[in-house]
Amino acid sequence: MKKGIYIVFAFLVAGLAGCKDYLDIQPKDKLIPGNVEDFRLLLDDQWTMNNTPGLGDVMADDLSLTDDEYNDVPQDYFQRAYTWSKDLFSPEEEVNDWNKPYKIIFYANTILEGLAANPAGLPETRNQIEGEADFHRAYAYFNLLNTFAKQYNAATADKDLGVPLRLSSDITATVTRNSVKEVYDQVLTDLNNAIKLLPVKAAYKTRPSRAAAYALAARIYLQMGNYDAALEQSTNALSLQNTLVDYNTVDPGNTPFDAVFPVTIVSNPEVIFISSTMGIYAKNNYVSTGFYQMYDAHDLRAPLFFREVPDQGNYQYIGSYNDGGRTNVPSPFSGFTVAELYLIRAECYARKNDAGKAMGDLNTLLVKRFENNEFQPLVPGTPKEALNIVLAERRKELVFRNLRFMDLRRLNADPAYAVTLTRTLNDETFTLLPGDNRYVFPIPYNEISTNHLEQNPR
C-alpha cells in the first residue's frame, strides 16, 4: 500500500473520529488516496460505509418499552427520542445520525476526486469504484434527508430546507442548507450513474451491486411518492435477484434466543446489500403484545422475529438478518432484501389500482413466511383493500429495519393513513401528532453554532 493512503487514513481517524463537527474539520494534509487500490480500502471500511441512522426506529410506533426497560436504557438521547422530546440532542452530544452519513459522503467525495485526478487503472475496476462511491453518497444523503429534513413534497420541495450538499472533499468550504429538491436531485443523479457503472453482482454483499442500486432507487421513489418509478425500479431489481428464504427451512433452535437463520447474512439469497443501524442495538428493541398479535397463528415470522419477555408483557426482537446470532445482539439489519422489493412493488400496484398484481406479489412473499399448507392465498379485492393489506404486511415484514419512521412520515400526508402516536411511561403520557415538527430531527447544536445553519422548527 502506498504512503498516500496512510496519510489519508491518519487524517480521517484524527479528524473525523475525534471531532464532533463533521462539516467543519480542519485537514492536516490535502493529500488523498492515489490509486484504485487505495479507493477500494476506503470503500471496504464496513464500519463506516455500511452504517445507517437508527434513531428513527426509537421514535416509531413499533417499539414498546415497559417503565423498567425505559428506565434501564443507558443513553439519554434514546430516552429523549422515545418520548419525542423537543430537546432531542444536548449541546455536548455527538449526533451519529448526522455525523456518520457525512463521514460516508466525505469518503465518497475523496474517492471521486481521486479517480478524476488519477486516470490509471483498468476501466472496469475504475467504473466499479466510481459506481460504489456514487451509491454510498446517494444512500447517505437519502438517510440524512429523511432524518433532518421535511418529508418530500413535490409542491414545496424547492423551498423546504434540506441538508448541506457537499460534492467535494474541501471541508473548509462554507456550507448552507440546500433545498430538499436540490439534495434529492443530486441523490438521483448519483444513483443513475451508479446503476450504469456497478456490476450486476458484487463480490461481497457489503459492496453495492446493480441490483442494490435499483433497490435503493425503488426505496427512494416510494418515499417520494413516485409510484411509477418505484414500480419500475423494483421490477428492475427483481429481474436480477428474486429468491426468497422459505421460513419453513429455518430451525428456531432449542431456545428462542438461540434462533438463527439457516444461512449467514453473506450467503442469505434474500439479502441484496448489507447495512446496519448504528448505535441502536437489538437488545433495546421490544414490541407490545398487541403488535405481536398482528401476526397470524401460522405466520413463522412471529417466533423467528421475537421472543416473549417473561413477566413483562412484551416481546423482544431477535429477527435481525445480521450475523452474530441472538446472543451477541447485533445492530439491526437495515439493508436491502428481495422481500422489501416485493412489498414496494405490491404497494405501487395497489396505488395504481391493480389489486390483482398487488396480491400476486404479496402471495409470492407470504407463502414463504407461513407454515407449510397453512397459507391461504389472498384474493384480490378493491385497490383500497389491497393497499391496506400491503401496508400491514410491510410493517410486519420490515420491523426494525429503519423504515417504519420513514413510512410514518410519508403516510402521514394522507389523512386515511395518518396516525397519532401515544406512549405512557411512569404515569406520564406522551403524544406525537401526524405532521408534527418533531418528525424532523433538529440540526446538531455544533452545526448551528459553527456553520450558522438554520435550525428546524421544534
Across the chain, what does the average pLDDT equal? 88
3 state DSSP class of 62: coil
Q: Residue 57's pLDDT is what?
A: 93
> Is residue 274 within 8 Å of residue 335, measured between CB atoms?
yes
Q: Is residue 96 in a domain?
A: no
Question: Residue 262 is part of which domain span?
Answer: 199-406
Reply yes or no on whether the pLDDT at 290 is more than 70.
yes
More confident: 66 or 258 = 66
Average pLDDT of the segment spanning 439-448: 96
In a domain, 65, yes or no: no
Residue 72: what pLDDT?
86
Determine the pLDDT at residue 18. 37
Distance between CA 365 and CA 270 in Å, rounded? 11
Best-predicted range by mean pLDDT (104-113, 259-268, 300-309)? 104-113
Residue 307 pLDDT grade (very low, low, confident, very high; cuts 50, 70, 90)? confident
In this prediction, residue 257 has a pLDDT band, given cuts at 50, 70 and 90, of very low
- Residue 279 confidence class, pLDDT cut points 50, 70, 90: low
Residue 174 has pLDDT above 60, yes or no: yes
Q: Evaluate if residue 13 carries a pLDDT over 50.
A: no
Q: Which residue has the higher pLDDT, 7 or 427?
A: 427
- The confidence score (pLDDT) of residue 324 equals 45
pLDDT at residue 417, rounded to an integer:
97
Q: 456 or 252: whose pLDDT is higher?
A: 456
pLDDT at 193 over 90: yes
Please tell me the predicted confidence (pLDDT) of residue 32.
Answer: 54
pLDDT tens track for 38-76: 999 999 999 999 999 999 999 999 999 999 989 888 778
Question: Is 145 in contact with 180 (CB distance < 8 Å)?
Answer: yes
Q: Which pLDDT score is estimated for 2?
A: 35
Sign of CA dihedral 108, 114, 117, 122: negative
Residue 401 contacts residue 276 (beta carbons within 8 Å): no
Q: Where are the beta strands (DSSP E) in 333-397?
A: 336-337
Q: Residue 455 falls within a domain, yes or no?
A: no
Instruction: Count the domains in the chain.
Output: 1
Domain membership of residue 176 (yes or no) is: no
Whether 424 has a pLDDT exceeding 80, the answer reads yes
Q: What is residue 323's predicted lDDT score, i.e. its pLDDT?
A: 60
Q: DSSP H helical segments within 312-354, as ranges?
A: 338-351
Residue 19 has pLDDT above 80, yes or no: no
pLDDT of 9 above 50: no
Does this model's pTM top 0.75? My answer is yes
What phi and psi, each to the nearest 5 degrees, are found at residue 110?
A: -60, -45
Predicted confidence at residue 268, as pLDDT, reads 84
- Please provide residue 267's backbone torsions phi and psi, each rounded to the nearest 5 degrees: -95, -5
Place of cell 475523496: 110
The answer to the question of residue 207 being in a domain is: yes
Percent of the chain past pLDDT 70, that is, above it, reads: 86
CA distance 136 to 132: 6
The answer as to whether 452 is a domain residue is no
Q: Is residue 241 part of a domain?
A: yes
- The span from the CA of 239 to the CA of 342, in Å, is 11
CATH code of residue 381? 1.25.40.390
Read off the pLDDT of each residue in 138-146 and give the average, rounded to a whole number: 98
H-helix or E-strand spanning residue 78? helix 76-82
Quickly state the pLDDT bin for 8 (edges 50, 70, 90).
very low
Confidence of residue 171 (pLDDT cuts 50, 70, 90): confident
Burial class (CB in 10 A: 0-12, 13-18, 19+), 351: buried
Average pLDDT for residues 358-385, to the nearest whole number?
Answer: 96
Percent of the chain clearing pLDDT 90 (strictly above): 74
Question: Residue 82 CB: number of other CB atoms within 10 A?
Answer: 21
Residue 150 confidence class, pLDDT cut points 50, 70, 90: very high
Please determine, for residue 261, whether its predicted confidence score (pLDDT) is greater than 60: no
In this prediction, residue 281 carries a pLDDT of 60
For 418, other C-beta atoms within 10 Å of its C-beta total 13
Average pLDDT for 424-441: 96
234 pLDDT above the threshold of 90: yes
Q: Name 336's bridge partners.
A: 273
pLDDT higher than threshold 90 for residue 147:
yes
Neighbours of 310 (CB within 10 A): 6
Q: How far apart are CA 363 and CA 399, in angstroms?
A: 19
pLDDT surpassing 50 at residue 161: yes
d(CA 311, CA 309): 6
* Contact between 289 and 314 (Cβ < 8 Å): yes
pLDDT the model gives residue 321: 85
Higher pLDDT: 100 or 283? It is: 100
Residue 322 included in any domain? yes
- Using pLDDT thresholds of 50, 70 and 90, give the confidence band for residue 172: confident
